[in-house]
Structure 1
């Protein structure tokens, strides 16, 4: 649909968004270390080892997991640091880079890390419920970034965002239009699409989590729905 390039949204509380930068660096390092982008078999092995697999959390499987592999619960976070290719990685990191710094500014460094992980977990939870019993692993940071997008819209809907529309046309568009349309498309596709290559419900779950958390986790001095100056 579009790729975010830049926003006109200054930071007010933090000098450097080092958690956002650290998350991007970690995603890239893991991608390079695993070699997932160049080896389909290796990606499959990694996805089944560290991705979120809904069928692992059915009642019968949970009994086995509780007895033998409690670390399975970490999959609710680890899946979000795995990507299926360069474009998958770059797309998610672009959203994290452009919008993550403002959420980090609004909630603080440590709480932003918690916010990010909770959005990833919320995305995985709704994906699991919508795909109950599926043996296909969920990977990618798009659920976590969907939470950031929802929070961004609740904080600064009027801010202009430079986007690359259809991968070709640079345009400055208020966040409420481009990000709002993106979120509506995720909901629409989750309700209508039969395609199983995109985790639409994970996007919806991440967005809902972000929308719930941002009023709770933001600094008291940061208002919701700020008007552009």
Structure 2
């Protein structure tokens, strides 16, 4: 299932959402070379991505992790490592990775920003991203594998959306072989299904003795939980009330 849009208009232009999307895109193009040069891509992931074992000191210095095309990432103790929980939020590993993240953020981010206000939303986004990074480090503290992506912070936005607008319809694209169909579903069903997939995917990793590459699902879980827990702290209730009243006037039959 792929989210395409929601039936949840905004009152204000989501400036921060646009700026974050622009920052993610600019980082992909100008820092990571749009993935066209493997050396540039691997260097950015290795040097600016979050390596749990570097933060905790539990990964042996000099350990080389293959990242494809004969390239490796070597564990080090450079000063930049302490900033990677933040820098890693703006990096991605492929076109599919960045486009998927941006699509989810496009669908859910504007309404959450509209309910918090711009500055609160920016702080909320960063805090959820840091919580996601912390969750991944806690779950795999010795991993020498770099973690990159905005998905932890975006997961927090999705958790906030679940609390703020659980019954709003989200238009989901279903693909089954050659059949394409758009089906509107309540946000609570979409988001709880997504969260359940992350949990189910992450549970087998708990039994693995060695770190392996792949999707950092525990970052997704940590970001989502942070969003659920923190949303009411960051919510601007005056904005939410204004949005709710306006939405009901536009769609009196909608929840």
Asked if TM exceeds 0.5, the reply is yes
> Where in structure 2 are there 5+ consecutive unaligned residues?
60-76, 249-253
Q: Does the CA contact (< 8 Å) of 1:20 and 1:100 recur in 2?
A: yes
Among residues 37, 54, 57, which one is paired with 2:55 in the alignment? 57
Equivalent-residue separation in structure 1 for 2:132 and 2:175 (angstroms): 26
Report how far residue 41 of structure 1 moved. 2.5
> Where in structure 1 are there 5+ consecutive unaligned residues?
62-66
Q: Tell me, what secondary structure is at the counterpart of 2:148?
A: coil
Relative distance call for 1:96 and 1:7 in structure 2 (3 A) is: same
RMSD: 2.1
- Give the match for residue 199 of structure 1: 216
Q: Does the CA contact (< 8 Å) of 1:53 and 1:137 recur in 2?
A: yes
Equivalent-residue separation in structure 1 for 2:51 and 2:28 (angstroms): 19
- Give the match for residue 109 of structure 1: 118
Relative distance call for 1:159 and 1:41 in structure 2 (3 A) is: same
Report how far residue 165 of structure 1 moved. 2.0
Among residues 192, 195, 205, which one is paired with 1:183 in the alignment? 195
Among residues 19, 27, 30, which one is paired with 2:27 in the alignment? 30
| Pair 1:169-2:168 in alignment | no
Report how far residue 36 of structure 1 moved. 4.4
What TM-score comes out, normalization by structure 1 length?
Answer: 0.88
Q: Does the CA contact (< 8 Å) of 1:54 and 1:135 recur in 2?
A: yes
> Aligned ranges for residues 130-149 of structure 1 at < 5 Å?
130-149=139-158
- Give the match for residue 45 of structure 1: 43
Q: Does the CA contact (< 8 Å) of 1:36 and 1:42 recur in 2?
A: no
Report how far residue 59 of structure 1 moved. 4.9
Equivalent-residue separation in structure 1 for 2:184 and 2:38 (angstroms): 37
| Pair 1:5-2:4 in alignment | yes
Q: Does the CA contact (< 8 Å) of 2:115 and 2:237 recur in 1?
A: no
Q: Does the CA contact (< 8 Å) of 1:36 and 1:83 recur in 2?
A: no
What TM-score comes out, normalization by structure 2 length?
Answer: 0.80
Q: Does the CA contact (< 8 Å) of 2:49 and 2:147 recur in 1?
A: yes
- Total equivalences in the alignment: 218
Relative distance call for 1:60 and 1:191 in structure 2 (3 A) is: closer
Q: Tell me, what secondary structure is at the counterpart of 1:5?
A: strand
> Aligned ranges for residues 94-105 of structure 1 at < 5 Å?
94-105=103-114
Report how far residue 166 of structure 1 moved. 3.5
- Give the match for residue 67 of structure 2: none
- Give the match for residue 64 of structure 1: none
Equivalent-residue separation in structure 2 for 1:118 and 1:203 (angstroms): 13
Equivalent-residue separation in structure 2 for 1:179 and 1:28 (angstroms): 25
Q: Tell me, what secondary structure is at the counterpart of 2:147?
A: coil
Equivalent-residue separation in structure 1 for 2:237 and 2:5 (angstroms): 26
Equivalent-residue separation in structure 1 for 2:8 and 2:117 (angstroms): 16
